[in-house]
Structure 1
Amino acid sequence: MIRETSQRDVVFTPFMLKVRQAAAGDASVVTAPRYVASERATIAVAVDEWFALRARAEHVLAEANAMLDPGADRVTLRDDVGTGRLSFVLAWRDRSFRLSVLDTAGADRAAGGADLLVAEGDGEAGDAVGAGTGGARKPVDLDFMEDLVLQMMAAPATPANPRPEIGTAVRTGGFVSNVLEAGLGSPVVLVHGSGPGVSAYANWRLTIPALAEEFRVVAPDMVGFGFTERPAGARYDLDGWVAQVVALLDTLGLDRASVVGNSFGGAIALRLAARHPDRVDRLVLMGSVGVDFRLTEGLDTVWGYQPSIEAMRRCLDFFAFDRGLVDDELAAVRYRASLEDGLQEAFASMFPAPRQRWVEALCTPEDEIAALPHETLIVHGRDDKVIPPDTSRRLHELIDRSQLHMFGRCGHWTQIEHARRFTDLVRSFLREG
């Protein structure tokens, strides 16, 4: 710690002397093992020890920031609400670590007694710490916190991601899901639709940055789509997709989250809220499936897609009210996305003709929808040619705590055609929670 010896003399700890080098990217100051295997980590301490741990972090940050030039980026600590347990985030520039408490009153403490660090979802407690050996344990003391800050500051700058549609690999039951994550705060899960070549990034690329200014945004590729694993025997049905979201919440340590579902994703959000009501905070349904309707020409075309640029262009023409949003370049990009290894085979197996049955398979019984206790925002484009606007009107009739917002001059792409209005509306609704 800083110790004044006179009005002019200050004694610096070894840690403080290393801070300037670490801030300049000098990794030679990091001599300890790398304790953290991912940016999401759980500190295994008893709850009553958590506040002492946080105080250690504040002490180390004060020492680090005292060594940085005025006007330089500071190391920060922010409490992270909405994770379902005590949690805070250490951050410097574009690097951060989220540290959450895992109460060790039970088996973990009995097994080892010491505090530990474990990367979430990577196995048993302790797998991600020590000198690279599984199960190694490390006391979460002042030295540990100093080492963590130095490692964070000295890490090489994160290169630009050439494939922004590929995020974090997160285990969700028997397979690994591709998950985009951004922001801090109360968690919000975004569930995409079911068009050919779709992914979380394709659906939510304009929404994620805006919501991440206030919330922790989590957007998975549902199994059968995007870059999530497609294991043999995977369930391409509503209960299977719901189970994937529940497993995602479990792996990330989230007791509950608000859920935003687009079209097919709305059906998943509805079933999740009906069957696991305690896991859902607020609900947003956009152009949602989930109640019965007569199959439209647009949805029949989308679900019956066979790969070609012309077929993709025809699908996209159904999505947008403003045809200016759909050009040959966009059609070519989505066409190439639909050709990713194994994607078309999975997609074709989900919705074979006759397709009216798949509308019905994505429905949640109306009595279960009417029993939903959640505050719900329902959004639809008045000119949607894929999912009829009457589906949202029916959902509004059924869900007692709901509000309906209908966008004029808007097709099935509310989050794209009216991106700013959509995100402002959703952000305002989520803030109320």
Structure 2
Amino acid sequence: MSWQEELRKLDEELASGRLSADDYRVRRDQVLSSAVAHGEDPNAAAETQQQQVSQPQETPQPEQQTPDDEGQSADSTQVIAPLDPSAERTQTVPPWQAQHAQQAQQMQQPHQAPYAQQQPPMPQAGGYQQGPASPAGGFQQPGPASPAGGFQQPGPASPAGGFQQQGYPQQQQQFPPQHQQPPQQPWNGGQPDQAPPWGGGDFPPLGPPGGPDWGASQGPEGFEDGQRKSGKGKIFAIIGAVVVLAGIAVGAYLLWGTGDDNADPRNPPSSQQQNPPASSQPVEDPLPIGEISGQPEEHSEVKTFADVPGLTYLNDQEVESYERADPGDTKFTVYRDGQGATAVILLTKVGDKGAASDEVSSLAGIQTNNGAESVTEGVPDGVLVTAFEDGAQYRAHYLSGDVLVRVEAVSENGLEAARAYFDDALEAQLNVLPVDG
């Protein structure tokens, strides 16, 4: 069977609906490609075919079967195998792309492309019968898409003029003469259609991929303008905040940083004086005084034992006894309970602890030599206590480390009142400066 007969058979199968439009184009391209490969002249055959189809077409009559065909049943099939191995590589073209491709190729000149790339031209009078132009979505083709080799076709051979398509007005189509040119690219190497499935006449054409007009503004580029505006606003806000903070810092420096220019440099402000670093523990008082009831009278003028003789509190013998113990720092405090009782606390730091221990006994002996009586009842060990009954007065001397302690109490209300206030003061002092064992 020649390639012209194969083309006519394909037209008949397409007209009868046994072959889909996609399969028709694929198999037609295969036939044309095989004809070119075998060196046949498709142009001459095309002119012959044009003369045949230009004659008045009559109603096709079914051909009579030859004796060779009588042995075959009406259901005999014919399988057309691919003539070129490259023809098996098919390209699926959606209906909407096929329509656009066919319309674009119909506008081209007949000699503008090789047979492998041309689509059927615009219908002309006297050509093959053809149905109306397919809609944008393409006609629905019954049955699955045929394979590369085609389905086996049942039924008798179709007439030379082909079957008329049912339900469509008859139109004739003919192929103009074609001028063969050397193929420049594969039969399926057409330019890809960039139009989207939803495109068409209602939408503008898309630009080339990567161009400025390609696609719509999507993704991050849709927000670029807003982000640029937002970025400028943030920059201005940051600059404004920095300016405000700088103004506050300058104002604070001018207000508090310069200080008083007229201040006496010999008496700098207390804020400029360097305070000693605070210790984690409070500094202990080397001469502590216990919590004694009454109103205290601190004599801050007494710093050392050299300040004590000026108080006229000790007699000459007592001063001499203190001086033999190498006295140093001294604290002198008086308490009054508001009921006629008075307590006196004298604390002296000594440099010679051995001599100070002897001077405790010497001070107690000075009291007894002046008319006082020694008191031992209710007195802690190591503490020497004397009492003057006429003056309602009690005195105690003891040594606590390197501190010589003297506690005295006197009351206007008699000896018992003096003893009560004395016991309270002595107990409070023993709590902070206990007697040496």
- Please indicate the TM-score interval, normalised by the length of the shorter structure: under 0.3
Which of the pair is proportionally richer in strand?
Answer: 1
TM-score scaled by length of structure 2: 0.21
- The structure number with the bigger radius of gyration is 2
